[in-house]
Amino acid sequence: MTWLALALLAALVLLPVLLATLRPPRPRGRAEADRALYAAQIAELDTQRAEGRLDEAAHRAALVEVQRRLLNAPAPEESEATLRPAPALLLALALIPAAAVGTYLWRGTPGMPSATLAQRNEAVSRDDTLIATLRERLARADINSEMGRQGWILVGNAERNRGRFAEAAKAWTRALSARFDPGLAGDLAEVEIERGALEEARRWLGEALAAQPGDPRLRFLSGMVEARAGRPENARATWRALLADAPADAPWRELVEARLRALP
C-alpha cells in the first residue's frame, strides 16, 4: 500500500466525522450518548470475536463488563445541545490524516509480524506466574486488613478478565469475608451467573439488595438469575418493576427492554 493510499484511507475514515460537523446541530442528551458509546463497544467486541482476536470466554466477560457499566451509568438531569464546531475543529480534522501519515513514516514498523502462538502462550504463562505470586503473598497477609482485602479484589479482577470465573468467585468471596460491599457482591453475582452457579448468585444478590434495594444493576441481575433458572415469569416481573421505577431516559432502559423481549 502506498503512502498516498494510506492518506486517502485516513481521509475516508474521517469523512463521516467531517460531515457530522457540518450537519445542522440537533439535541443530544447524555443518555443517548451513553447508549451510542456502549453500542459501539459491544459492536467492537463482536468484531474482535468474529476475527478471532477474542475467544468466547473473553468476549463474554468483556460483554458483561460493558453491560455492567451501562447499568451503572447515572441518568442525566437534562439534555445538552450539540454545538456547531469551530473553524479550528475543521482545520484539525483536515490535519489529522497528514499528521498520522507523518508519524507512521517516522516511527512506524509495517514489517512487524503479529504475535506467534508461542508468544501468546508465554504471555499467558507470565500472567499465571504473577497471579500465583500475588496469591502466595496474600496467603501470608491478614485477610481482614485493607491491603489483604484489596489484594483479593485485584486477583478477582484479573481472573474475571481472563474468563476464569470460578477463580474470580473464590477471590472475591475472600474479599467479601473481610468486609461486605454491595457493589463487589454484584460483581461476584455476575460471575456466578456466568458459570451457572445460580443459587450462589441469588444469595449474594439478596444480601446486596438488602443493603441497596433500589440499585438498578442488582435488580437487573436478579432478573438474570430468574431467566437463567428457567423462571421467565419471575424475570419478567422483576424487569418490569425495574423499568417502572427507572427514569424515561435511563441509558440502560433499552438493554432491559431487549432482555424482556427475549424472554419466552
CATH of the domain at 258: 1.25.40.10
List the domain range (segments joined by +) for residue 235.
124-262
Q: 8: pLDDT confidence band, cut at 50, 70 and 90?
A: low
Whether 60 is covered by a domain: the verdict is no
Do 21 and 130 lie in one domain? The reply is: no
State residue 78's pLDDT score. 42
Whether 81 is covered by a domain: the verdict is no
State residue 124's pLDDT score. 66
Residue 31 to residues 72, 112, 198, Cα–Cα distance (Å): 12, 41, 31
Do 23 and 137 lie in one domain? The reply is: no
pLDDT at 149 over 80: yes
Whether 101 is covered by a domain: the verdict is no
Q: 50: pLDDT confidence band, cut at 50, 70 and 90?
A: confident
Do 133 and 256 lie in one domain? The reply is: yes
Residues 240, 228: contact at Cβ < 8 Å? no
**Mean pLDDT over all residues of the chain?**
77
Whether 198 is covered by a domain: the verdict is yes
pLDDT at 228 over 80: yes
Looking at the structure of the chain, the number of domains it has is 2
Do 145 and 253 lie in one domain? The reply is: yes
Task: Report percent pLDDT > 90 for the chain.
Answer: 38
State residue 45's pLDDT score. 72
Whether 82 is covered by a domain: the verdict is no
Whether 91 is covered by a domain: the verdict is no
Whether 49 is covered by a domain: the verdict is yes
pLDDT at 127 over 60: yes
Do 132 and 245 lie in one domain? The reply is: yes
The CA distance from 236 to 242, in Å, is 10
Do 41 and 134 lie in one domain? The reply is: no
Q: What is the torsional sign of CA 207, 212, 218, 220?
A: positive
State residue 27's pLDDT score. 46
Q: What is the torsional sign of CA 209, 211, 216, 218?
A: negative
